């Protein structure tokens, strides 16, 4: 027994040596000097305020003057030191705490100033704390959190009761949302919070709402480490946020969030009628009670995003955003990649943002963008970036037009559009690959970049009455009838004229022979009477008259030449015309020189008859 003790002493020596060696590394870890106090207490309640230091102090603590509370006990100091060896590396931790037990007397908010302490010739200061004191409620049961106990720690003898107790006002859960009206896509923060005035032994099965109609995103929260005091309608509760979500409504209308339910085991003091000796000695006996806690359903009104004045490129972004575009280099080389980065930051449905449309020059090869989302701790905002990899294939200077990003501002309730500056890129010939220079380039067929309708027709659109059809209209028939009427009128007028004209000519033509034969008969009687002068006159008249009637020329206008022309025009043989005219000359001559001999009357008479007959035949042939 002794030897073992001796050996144990020997074992301590290297441990102490090691602790001494490790000392500097502990110092290097950074000094933390913090204060821990409840934020809300009620009048008459006892509570603790503790300053904690994670290093060995070189001086005593200087606590602030505490005037608003009465100090019941303190300061009590406690030290905690621990060593641990991880993978052969020794670490040591040291904690020093100074605790006061205080009691509040009056309501109001009071501030406990900062405490000071020296570590290694350096002064450290704690933050001041403000403590709200409220009027005490009827129940004077101690608030579990005030003792700094974690809910699962229970040292009292446990006896589970099988019957479940209905939840009461001392323990309940709530589903808290930061807003009750929202637009689709607008983030809503949801806290599921536990409120308790009882000692909580443990938490059982929890049933979370399904959040139908929302897109749900979990938010990481630090593990529950003790309850936080909170004033609810004048009663101090220990509270803990069990779970945090960010919801994005997916449709408009009133959406109800189902209740949250939680099984909770609490510890209650059992009030026995006979308080025995042991009760006092071991503390009050405690009973565990299982409670089923259920929150009230929460209603969220989701408003419609107005459809009027919606920008054409709008793609569902709701919130407040900022946009930045940048290219990693503005002087590029052909076939070398560059990156266009579009960063949209702000609060709203960041995760659901779609990439804004960009019209890249057709000479550049563009790959599908890579997107990256970084949400902030609360989950309601952050940044989303889109990286486009572009590879220019042609030299020249190009312009990436301004990027438009329309979004709906849920605070002002209007659409807003972010526009970036256009980015100009200068592309020079790079190594490798073919570079085409204008002029010597092989001809390419026109690349179809997009399909769109042809543009409006401009200028005078030749408007006319909607039912007006020219074809078959009154004006149309008017013109057609006009044509027919003009035709008919012209025809009638011309026909009448021709008729009149042709009648006279026909009559004369028909009469010609009659007149001629009449005159020749007369001439014959003169021939018998041997009246030469009268005979020749009649024969001459018969021949001239015949020509006048036949050719439809007035006797006054008829001369030897005109008669000859007219006859030849009518196609009478020239010899016949000549002999006809010769006979007429002979008659004229004989009329004025009757004594001339060698001309027998009968020969002239016969000649005249035969010539008139021949001309008659010639003209007849012509007409037929």
Partner 1 sequence: MNRRTMKIWRICMLLPMVLMFSVYTFAQDFQFKLSLAEESYKDGNYPESINRYKSIIDSGFSSGELYYNLGNAYFKNRDIKSSILYYERAARLLPRDENVIFNLELARSYTTDKISELNPFFLKVWIQYFRDLLSEKAWGIVNIISLFITLGGMLVFLLSGWSDLQRWSMFIALIALFMFFSSLSLGILQKQNITRTDEAILFSPSVMVKSSPDEGGSNLFILHEGTKVKIMDQLGDWREIRLGDGNKGWIRITDLEII
Provide the binding-site residues for partner 1, judged by CB under 8 A: 312, 451-458, 460-466, 469-473, 476, 479-480, 483-484, 486-487, 490-491, 494, 498
Pick the closer one to partner 1 by CB: 497 or 560: 497
Q: How far is the CB of 459 from partner 1 (least distance, A)?
A: 9
Pick the closer one to partner 1 by CB: 4 or 461: 461
- Three-state DSSP state, 66: coil
Pick the closer one to partner 1 by CB: 488 or 593: 488
Q: Which helix (H) or strand (E) holds 516?
A: helix 474-529
Q: How far is CA 438 from CA 395, 424, 442, 464, in A?
A: 9, 20, 9, 50
Contact 323, 423 (CB under 8 A): no
Pick the closer one to partner 1 by CB: 10 or 456: 456
Contact 260, 294 (CB under 8 A): yes
- Paired with 407 in beta bridges are 416
What is the biggest distance separating any 2 CA atoms in the chain, rounded to whole angstroms? 216
Q: How far is the CB of 492 from partner 1 (least distance, A)?
A: 11
Pick the closer one to partner 1 by CB: 424 or 473: 473
- Paired with 414 in beta bridges are 409
Q: How far is the CB of 448 from partner 1 (least distance, A)?
A: 13
Backbone angles phi, psi at 55, to 5 degrees: -150, 170
Q: How far is the CB of 483 from partner 1 (least distance, A)?
A: 5
- Residue in this structure with the two tokens 């006054």, named with its chain if needed: 556
Contact 284, 270 (CB under 8 A): yes
Pick the closer one to partner 1 by CB: 418 or 516: 418
- Three-state DSSP state, 74: strand
Pick the closer one to partner 1 by CB: 271 or 457: 457
Q: How far is the CB of 306 from partner 1 (least distance, A)?
A: 14
- Paired with 102 in beta bridges are 47, 71
Find all residues with CB under 8 Å of 292, minimum gap 6, and list them: 164, 167, 261, 262, 263, 264
Pick the closer one to partner 1 by CB: 205 or 465: 465
Tokens in use for 22?
Answer: 């490790």
Q: How far is the CB of 253 from partner 1 (least distance, A)?
A: 22
Find all residues with CB under 8 Å of 49, minimum gap 6, and list them: 35, 36, 37, 99, 100, 102, 112, 129
**392, 385, 407, 390: which is closest to 325 by C-alpha?**
385
Pick the closer one to partner 1 by CB: 467 or 575: 467
Q: How far is the CB of 497 from partner 1 (least distance, A)?
A: 10
């Amino acid at each position: 027994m002794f030897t073992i003790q001796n050996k144990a002493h020997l074992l301590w020596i290297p441990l102490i040596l090691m602790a001494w060696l490790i000392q500097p590394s502990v110092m290097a870890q950074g000094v933390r000097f913090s204060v821990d106090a409840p934020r809300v207490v009620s009048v008459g309640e006892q509570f603790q305020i503790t300053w904690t230091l994670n290093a060995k102090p070189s001086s005593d603590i200087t606590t602030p003057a505490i005037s608003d509370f009465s100090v019941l006990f303190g300061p009590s100091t406690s030290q905690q030191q621990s060593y641990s060896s991880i993978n052969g590396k020794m670490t040591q931790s040291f904690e020093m705490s100074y605790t006061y037990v205080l009691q509040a007397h009056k309501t109001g908010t009071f501030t406990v100033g900062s405490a000071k302490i020296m570590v290694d010739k350096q002064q450290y200061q704690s933050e001041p704390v403000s403590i709200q004191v409220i009027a005490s409620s009827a129940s004077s049961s101690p608030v579990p959190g005030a003792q700094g106990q974690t809910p699962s720690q229970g040292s009292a003898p446990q006896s589970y009761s099988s019957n479940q107790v209905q939840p009461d006002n001392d323990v309940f859960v709530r589903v808290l949302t930061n807003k009750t009206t929202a637009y689709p896509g607008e983030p809503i923060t949801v806290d599921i919070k536990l409120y308790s005035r009882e000692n909580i032994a443990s938490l059982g099965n929890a049933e979370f709402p399904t959040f139908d109609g929302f897109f749900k995103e979990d938010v990481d929260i630090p593990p529950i480490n003790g309850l936080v005091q909170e004033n609810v309608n004048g009663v101090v509760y220990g509270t803990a946020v069990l779970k945090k979500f960010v919801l994005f409504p997916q449709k408009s209308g009133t959406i109800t969030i189902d209740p949250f339910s939680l099984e909770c085991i609490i510890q209650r003091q059992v009030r026995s009628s006979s308080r025995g000796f042991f009760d006092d000695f071991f503390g009050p006996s405690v009973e565990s009670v299982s409670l089923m806690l259920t929150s009230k359903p929460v209603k969220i009104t989701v408003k419609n995003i107005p459809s009027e004045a919606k920008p054409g490129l709008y793609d569902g972004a709701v919130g407040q955003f900022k946009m930045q575009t940048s290219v990693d280099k503005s002087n590029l080389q052909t076939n070398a990649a560059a990156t266009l980065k579009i960063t949209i930051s702000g609060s709203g449905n960041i995760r659901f943002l779609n990439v804004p449309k960009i019209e890249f020059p057709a000479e550049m090869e563009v790959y599908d963008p890579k997107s990256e989302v970084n949400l902030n701790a609360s989950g309601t905002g952050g940044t989303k970036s889109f990286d486009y990899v572009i590879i220019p294939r042609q030299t020249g200077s190009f312009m990436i037009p301004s990027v438009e990003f329309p979004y709906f501002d849920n605070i002002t309730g209007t659409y807003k559009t972010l526009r970036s500056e256009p980015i100009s890129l200068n592309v020079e010939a790079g190594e490798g690959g073919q570079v085409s220079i204008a002029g010597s380039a092989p001809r390419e067929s026109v690349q179809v970049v997009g399909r769109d309708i042809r543009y409006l027709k401009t200028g005078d659109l030749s408007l006319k009455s909607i039912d007006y059809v020219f074809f078959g209209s009154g004006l149309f028939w008017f013109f057609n009838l006009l044509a027919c009427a003009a035709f008919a009128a012209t025809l009638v007028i011309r026909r009448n004229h021709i008729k009149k004209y042709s009648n006279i000519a026909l009559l004369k033509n028909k009469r010609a022979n009659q007149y001629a034969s009449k005159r020749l008969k007369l001439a014959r009687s003169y021939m018998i009477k041997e009246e030469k002068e009268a005979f020749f006159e009649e024969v001459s008249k018969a021949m001239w008259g015949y020509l006048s009637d036949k050719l439809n020329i007035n006797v006054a206008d008829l001369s030897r030449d005109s008669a000859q022309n007219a006859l030849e025009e009518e196609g009478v043989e020239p010899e016949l015309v000549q002999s006809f005219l010769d006979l007429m000359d002979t008659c004229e001559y004989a009329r004025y020189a009757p004594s001339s001999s060698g001309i027998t009357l009968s020969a002239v008479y016969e000649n005249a008859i035969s010539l008139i007959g021949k001309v008659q035949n010639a003209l007849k042939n012509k007409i037929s």
